[in-house]
Structure 1
Amino acid sequence: MEHESGQPPARNLSPLKEVAGPAPLRKQQVSMADVAKLAGVSSQTVSRVSNGSPDVIESTRRQVIAAMNELGYRPNSAARALKRGSFRTIGVITFSLSSLGNMRTLEAIALHAARQDFAITLIPVTAPTQAGIQGAFSRMGELAVDAVIAIMEVHLLDAATVTLPPGVKVVVVDSDAGEQYSVVDTDQADGARKAVRHLLDLGHETVWHVAGPEESFASERRAAAWRTTLTDAGKAVPPVLRGDWSADSGYEAGLRLADEPGCTAVFAANDHMALGLLRAFREKGKAVPEDVSLVGFDDVPEASSYAPPLTTVHQNFADVGNQCVDNVLQQIRTNTTEPGITLVPTQLVVRNSTAPPKH
C-alpha cells in the first residue's frame, strides 16, 4: 500500500551506532597468564622473572623473557608497588648537572641504587630559590618514589616555606639542613685544615685564600676552617678573595695575588680556580712552587696533569653517594628518620705545586 502522498512509507531507521558497522576491536591486554602459557611455565614463575628474583634458573628466565618480548608484555610496576608497599625508586633533586662534585655524586647514587635493585628519578632545579626547591619536592610528592636525595649547596631547607611530601624519606647532600633532616657531606672543614696546615708546616708565614661563592655551604665551611686554622696557629689572616668556582675567577684572583709581595702560599677552594691561579702566576712571572705554593680542593681527574701537578684535597664523591643511598634505604626499611650529619673523610694529596718558601 502506498502512502496518501504517493510516496512509499517511511522506514523505522535503526540508530546510527547499529548501522555504522562494528567498532574496531581494541588490542587485548596481554596478561601474565598469557606469558606463562606461551613460555610453558607457571604465572608465579613469570612474576618472579618480572620482579628480578634470583630464584629462577637462567634457561627458564630467558624462555620467559622471550615470551614477554613476543607478546609485547610489560609488567605492571604500579601494581607490583602497591602489592609490596614500595616503588623501589629514589628521587634525586639537584641544582647543577655541570658541577663535578654533583655529577660524580649522582653517578655514585645511581650505581649504588641499582646494586640494591632501586631506580632513580632525577629532577634538576634550574633556579636555586625557595620556590624552585619547593616545586621540586612537590613534583617528587606526585611521583612514585620512596625517598628523596637532595643535592644542594645553598641556604634553602632552613626556610619555613619549604615543606616536604609526607611519608617520603629525605637525605640532603652538601647542606646545612639543621636538625630536621639526615645530612651526608664531605668533611669540608677538616679538608681545609689539612690544606692550610700543610702550607704552614712547610714554613710559610701565612696562607692566602680564594674562596667560592658566599651562598655555598662548601665554600663557607672551607673559608671558616682556613681562618680558624691560621688564628689557632697565631698567624695573620689575610683578606679573603672570592671567586665563583670557575677557572676565570681564579685567574682574576691570581692577577691580584701576584702583586702581593708577602703572598707565598695560597689555598684555593677548588681545583678549577687553582688552575686559573696557575695561569695568572705564570703570566705575572711567578713560579709555582718556587715563588708561590698552591693547594686546591676536589682532586679533579686532571689535577695530576696541571703544570705543575696540583697538591689538593681529595673528596670521595663515591662514598658520599653510597652513604646517601644506604641512609635512605635504612629509613625505608625501618620506617624511621634519624636526623644527623654523616661526614666523609678527605685526604690531602701532595704533588709538586707546594714547597718551602724562599729564604
Structure 2
Amino acid sequence: MNRGTVRGGAAALPRSEDVALLAGVSRKTVSRVFNDEPYVSAEVRQRVLGAAEKLGYRRNNAARALASGRTRSIGVVTLGTAGYGPASLLVSLERAVRDAGYALRVINTLEGDPGGIAGAVTSLLEQGVDGIAISEPVDEGEVSVNVDVPVLFLGAPPVFTAPKVVAASVGSDILAQAATDHLLGLGHDTVHHLAGPQRWYAARDRLQGWRTALEQRGRVAPPVVQGDWSAASGYAAGRELAGDPSVTAVFAAGDDMAIGLIHALVEAGRRVPDDISVVGFDDNPVFAYVSPPLTTVRQPFDAAVREGLSRLIHAIEKPGSEPPAATAPPVELVIRSSTGPPPARH
C-alpha cells in the first residue's frame, strides 16, 4: 500500500485501519500500541510502528481529545531568559513532553512582574491544558490563582495550590555542597562564595549547600560576595577578592560569574589554580575550552525533568493513585584545571 489512500478521487491521509491491515493486526492492537498500553508483544509493537512509518500514519490527537475529554497538552510557565540553566531546563522539558506524546504550550514571564505567573497560568487554563509545569526560578511572592489541573514545580517550592502538586529538583543544594567539598578535600582551609541573586530559588539553594559543606567540616564561612549571574559581576567580585591573600578557593554559583572572576584574578596577578582555585556551576560546554578549563558541577536537567514529567502525567492520567516517589538527583562534578591544592605556606 502506498503512502495515503485514494478515496473519492483525492489522496487521503492513512487511517488506523490501514495500519492494521498492513501490519496484520486489529484496529484495537494499533490503538494499544499508540496509547503505549501493556499486553502487546515487542514483535507486534515493532510491526505496527513499522507499518505506521511506511504509510506516514500519525494518530489523530484532536479525535482522541474529543473522546477522552483531554487535549493531551501540557502548559509551561517559564522565565523569559537566555540564561544557560533556565534555557537548558526548557529544552529538556520540550523533549520529554514530546516523547510522552503530549503537545507543549509555553508562556514566558518577565522577572519583576508579580502578576506574570498568575496571568500565564490563567491563559494556559483557558487553552484547556491537561497539566501545567512551572519552571519559574524567581521568587515573585505568593500567587493567587485557581488551578483545577495537576501542577509540576521544577526546582522551586509551590507558589499556589492545585488539586495535585508534584515537584522535581535538580538538587542545587546537593551540587553546591559537592563543589565546596571538592575544594575542601584539596586542602583549602575554607571556601569563599560568589552567590547569585537571592530572589532566585537556585541561588538560595546553592548558598545553603555551600554553608552546609563548611558547617559539616567545622569551617568558618567567610562573608558572601554577591553577584547577578553575569560575567561582569564575577569580574567585580574578582577585583574585590584578589586583594585578600587569605582567599585560596572560591565557589561561584554560576559558570559565567566564575569566568569573570578568573579574568579579574589573573589580571591582578593571582594565578588560577596555583594561588586561587575556582569552581563554577552549570557546566556550560563552552567553559571546557577557556584557560584554564573550568571545574564545575553539571545540573541533571534531563533526569529531573523526565522524573517530574512522569509524575505529572501520572497525576493527569491516573488521578486516583499516588505518583511514583521522587528520587535524589544525580551529582556529577566535572573536574578540570581551575582547581588544585592551596599554595604552600612559607
User: Is TM (by shorter chain) over 0.5?
Assistant: yes
In the superposition, relative to structure 1, how do residues 40 and 87 fare at CA in structure 2: closer, same or farther (>3 Å)?
closer
- For residues 237 and 230 of structure 1, the distance between their equivalents in structure 2, rounded to whole angstroms, comes to 6
- For residues 229 and 238 of structure 2, the distance between their equivalents in structure 1, rounded to whole angstroms, comes to 13
In the superposition, relative to structure 1, how do residues 110 and 46 fare at CA in structure 2: closer, same or farther (>3 Å)?
farther
Q: Between Structure 1 and Structure 2, whose CA radius of gyration is higher?
A: 1
Q: Could you state the TM-score of these two structures normalised by the residue count of structure 2?
A: 0.81
1:123 equivalent in alignment to 2:107:
yes
1:175 equivalent in alignment to 2:156:
yes
Residue 45 of structure 1 aligns to which amino acid in structure 2? E
- For residues 179 and 342 of structure 1, the distance between their equivalents in structure 2, rounded to whole angstroms, comes to 23
Which of 284, 290, 304 matches 1:306?
290
Residue 61 of structure 1 aligns to which amino acid in structure 2? L
In the superposition, relative to structure 1, how do residues 137 and 179 fare at CA in structure 2: closer, same or farther (>3 Å)?
closer
1:61 equivalent in alignment to 2:33:
no
Paired residues, number: 315
Q: Could you state the TM-score of these two structures normalised by the residue count of structure 1?
A: 0.78
| Per-residue deviation, 1:327 | 1.7
Q: What residue is the counterpart of 2:303 in the other structure?
A: 319
The 8 Å contact of residues 106 and 321 in structure 1, kept in 2 or not, is answered as no
1:350 equivalent in alignment to 2:335:
yes
- For residues 344 and 252 of structure 1, the distance between their equivalents in structure 2, rounded to whole angstroms, comes to 33
Q: What residue is the counterpart of 2:230 in the other structure?
A: 246
1:162 equivalent in alignment to 2:156:
no
SS at structure 2 position matched to 1:348:
strand
SS at structure 1 position matched to 2:281:
strand
SS at structure 1 position matched to 2:107:
strand
SS at structure 1 position matched to 2:167:
strand
Which of 247, 253, 258 matches 2:242?
258
Q: What residue is the counterpart of 2:274 in the other structure?
A: 290
In the superposition, relative to structure 1, how do residues 59 and 331 fare at CA in structure 2: closer, same or farther (>3 Å)?
closer
Which of 129, 142, 151 matches 1:145?
129
Sequence identity percentage? 35
The 8 Å contact of residues 14 and 55 in structure 2, kept in 1 or not, is answered as no
- For residues 96 and 319 of structure 1, the distance between their equivalents in structure 2, rounded to whole angstroms, comes to 22
In the superposition, relative to structure 1, how do residues 309 and 110 fare at CA in structure 2: closer, same or farther (>3 Å)?
same
CA root-mean-square deviation: 3.2
| Per-residue deviation, 1:58 | 4.6
| Per-residue deviation, 1:144 | 2.8
Q: What residue is the counterpart of 1:205 in the other structure?
A: 189
- For residues 8 and 16 of structure 2, the distance between their equivalents in structure 1, rounded to whole angstroms, comes to 9
Q: Deviations for 1:278-323, whole angstroms, at most 9, x for unmatched residues? A: 1101110111000100111111111211211111111111212222
SS at structure 1 position matched to 2:293:
coil
| Structure of higher RCO (CA pairs closer than 8 Å, 6+ residues apart) | 1
The 5-angstrom pairing of residues 18-167 of structure 1 reads: 38=10, 45=17, 53=34, 55=48, 57-58=51-52, 61-62=55-56, 78-156=62-140, 159=142, 161-166=143-148
Residues 283-292 or 315-324, more deviating: 315-324
| Per-residue deviation, 1:338 | 5.7
